[in-house]
Chains A and B, each alone.
Chain A
Amino acid sequence: MTALSSSPGSGALPAAARAGADGATAARSSTPSAGAVSDAPLSAAGAPTASRTRGPREERVQLSHLLFALPALAFFGVFALLPLVGVVALSFTSWNGIGAIEFTGLTSWTDALTRSTTWHGLALVVLMVVATWLLQTPLSILLGAFLAGQQRYRNLLAILYFLPLLLSSAAIAITFKSLLDPNFGLANGLDMPLLRQNWLGDPVLVWVVLLFIIAWQFIPFHTLIYQGAVRQIPHTMYEAAQIDGAGRVRQFFSITLPQLKYTLITSSTLMVVGALTYFDIIFVLTQGGPGIATRILPLDMYLTGFRGNEMGVASALAVMLVVIGLSLALGVQRLGGRDSSASQMEGA
């Protein structure tokens, strides 16, 4: 649990910070809106700006760099690595949370790997990752490209649109839960029988609801990243295309989309890793139900550990999640090639 505890509940935090890491390089910019937010902390921790504009020169890690990183590394060690070791150790024990911790070898692992809920949860995680990506990426790109235009009203829209991200997941889940109540929810309030569905009690409908709410919450964030990235694309490219007679659609597919490649990778990494850890919304909204229809692996881990009091098995599940999360994140990064995290400023 501990190793992953930095993700459920605080999903937005690493997401924002990591966006900063990639966004800043891609978006050191003339438009202050998106880039400016994330730029500041990074340049403080990274190399002097002068060398960065000119591309990768310095290969040696200077002592001063290490000194700057030291507090962060210490935090990382104490709060991320140490608990991770603890969880790995716990996964080889049986513990009910209050009694003595017994070393039982691989028992917890065999338990975890032979339970049908584990595989069910894993399949749901895959479904979650694929579905959120397919749903959110195209919409975010289109919205991002649209909002990157210059008219003032678009900025206003962007701000309004960003609001859902500012709400906590728990608040969102509680609100939607009331709205979706079959007897006292939106359907009754608006007197629209069509909305009167068994939203959270039907194994299929509940997924429609979940994916919708998650999209509603997170598309604004990804839109913001894409908006920033689109504003980085040099105008000269579009002017050249116009002279060549390219229409708006052609411009989008031939210039905007290819230029967004690295942003796409950043955004996808966040989405994929984020989808692994959706916990709060599901926990509040459905508790994994109906039945086990939404009992994704992180939730299964939590319920096994803190409801079922099987800390050993829960730890084994946690380790599995760490491994899956890391491999997925590395995989997506690799898709982009080695230079995906390099600065693209001089690329035009």
Chain B
Amino acid sequence: MRNFSLSRRSMLGATAGLSALTLGACGTAGPGSSSGGGGGASASYWALSGEPNETIYGDSVEAFNEGDQGTIDLTFFQNDAYKQKIRTAIGAGEAPTIIYGWGGGGLRTYAEESQVDDLTSWLDENAEYRDRFVESVWAAASVDEKVYALPQGATQPIILFQNTAVLEDIGAEAPETWDQLLDVVEKANSAGVAPISLAGQSRWTSMMWLEYLLDRIGGPDVFARIAAGDAEAWLDDSVIAMGEKVVELLDASAFADGFESMAADSNTDQALLWTDQAALMLHGGWTFGSMKASGGDFVSSGRLGYGPFPTIDGGAGELANLVGNPCNYLSVSSAASDEEKEVALAFLRDGAMSDQVATDLIASGSVPVIVGQEEALAASEDADYLQWVYTSLQDAPAFTQSWDQALQPTEAETLLVNIEQLFLGAIGPEQFAENMAAGKGA
């Protein structure tokens, strides 16, 4: 039966070859290094898809390309797909000239491997550009006192959103202390609505609760130590106290039934709030725009409330402390040619966060990280909310970066696995702290 085995082998070979080809095709489906027309130098730029930002940033690139400083080739990727693709591209030396990111730990790995340019001296030369931005954005862009990324987009603190109609129905107030929060939970449960909407399957959603709990209990210093690389800081008493608060919430059935099944990418957690099926939701400021766009009259009728995360008795953190993403960041790939870098920096200076971009961002319901926006915010149709966010940002004694962004990617993955286990009740607060200190993924 030699014949047959030979043909079988060739079948296998063909199969392997074909699937490799198919996969290969996927792998190179990106923009590669195709140069834009127009004769001048060009730089590539990968950005995240999804409205309203896709239009805003697309327009900013178009406006820049009409000038004579060169051409930007813009390609959009989905969030999760981008996160994985960009690392592979950088590792393979195929990175775009302008690298989109979130600062923090991810940026640190790029900087340590010399994959992105040190922009400190460029910023010194362009002091005017630097002064346009809110001061708090620079920390997450810096590694060892050097700036490797430029701020872009809107500020995205985590906010405790409320459904004011539901709160009124169940006779509760927007919580400002832990006891008030537990009171909302109890009243909502007895009224048959979900107290808190949470898309637990996404894991980073649960993480937002931990971020605020740890801040309110131990103050911002505990996580600052962790982010600086002190794994022992996970064993701090406040980390365990944080875990115990989660257990308290779980025991009180504080989260919507089946919250472990819900994923944030389909926005069902927001839908639960805007369909009056939940009282509270802790989420990023970016959800305001999508609740406004998809939630019918939820926002316009004033049913959407918002406020700071409650304080905890005896805790060290202040009510005004924020956690979340300061903004997004753009870096320049060190693998790019000098010509490409020149175009990229021109775009970063004049195009990426132009006045038009700021105006568009405000119109879409978010707060650009540029100073002097008071008037524009006051004139917006979402003035109350936007001004509140803007003031909170400037008044915050501390703004802790989202943990999964602040940590090194490997540690961030360990964190997410342990968070999910904690919220499932599979591990307790002590085990959580120990796992994190040991870098052990559940």
Interface residues of A (CB under 8 A from B): 5-7, 9-10, 13-14, 17-18, 20-21, 25, 41-42, 45-47, 51-52, 56, 58-61, 65-66, 68-69, 72-76, 78-80, 83, 96-100, 115-117, 177-178, 180-184, 196-203, 286-287, 289-292, 303, 306-310, 341-342
Contacts and interface: CB of A to CB of B under 8 A. Distances in A.
Contacts of B426: 291
Given A14-B19, A21-B7, A198 B1 contact: no
B200 A59 contact: no
Nearest to B420: A291
Given A69-B9, A98-B115, A286-B201, A200 B261 contact: yes
B10 A68 contact: yes
Interface string B200-212: 1101000000000
B81 to A, nearest CB: 11
Given A18-B12, A72-B13, A6 B4 contact: no
A309 B421 contact: no
22 contacts: A6-B20, A6-B23, A14-B12, A17-B12, A46-B6, A58-B3, A73-B13, A80-B13, A80-B16, A96-B109, A99-B113, A117-B442, A183-B258, A183-B262, A201-B200, A287-B201, A289-B201, A290-B201, A291-B424, A292-B417, A292-B442, A309-B87
Interface stretch (B28-36, B265-273, B349-357): B265-273
A56 B87 CA distance: 53
B1 A56 contact: yes
B204 to A, nearest CB: 11
B2 A61 contact: yes
Given A98-B87, A181-B266, A58 B2 contact: yes
B410 A17 contact: no
A290 B23 contact: no
Contacts, number: 207
Contacts of A292: 417, 421, 442
B40 interface: no
B194 to A, nearest CB: 8
Nearest to A76: B13
- Complex A-B, nearest 5 residue pairs according to Cβ-Cβ distance, in ascending order: A201-B260, A75-B17, A182-B258, A76-B13, A79-B20
Nearest to B27: A5
A221 B421 CA distance: 37
Nearest to A41: B11
Interface residues of B, number: 61
A72 B277 CA distance: 58
B10 A72 contact: yes
Given A45-B11, A72-B14, A98-B87, A181 B262 contact: yes
B260 A198 contact: yes
Given A6-B19, A96-B109, A306-B84, A17 B11 contact: yes
A65 B3 CA distance: 8
A98 B413 contact: no
A88 B268 CA distance: 43
Nearest to A209: B261
B376 interface: no
A308 B410 contact: yes
B51 interface: no
B227 to A, nearest CB: 17
Given A97-B87, A98-B91, A309 B410 contact: yes
Contact of B16 (A76, A96, A99, A100): A76
B10 A69 contact: yes
Nearest to A46: B7
A56 B5 CA distance: 12
Nearest to A14: B15
B407 to A, nearest CB: 12
Contacts of A56: 1
Contact of A200 (B5, B84, B201, B441): B201
Given A61-B3, A292-B442, A306-B87, 6 more contacts: A6-B16, A10-B19, A79-B19, A98-B91, A183-B258, A200-B260
A116 B426 CA distance: 15
A309 B424 CA distance: 25
Given A13-B15, A61-B2, A98 B90 contact: yes
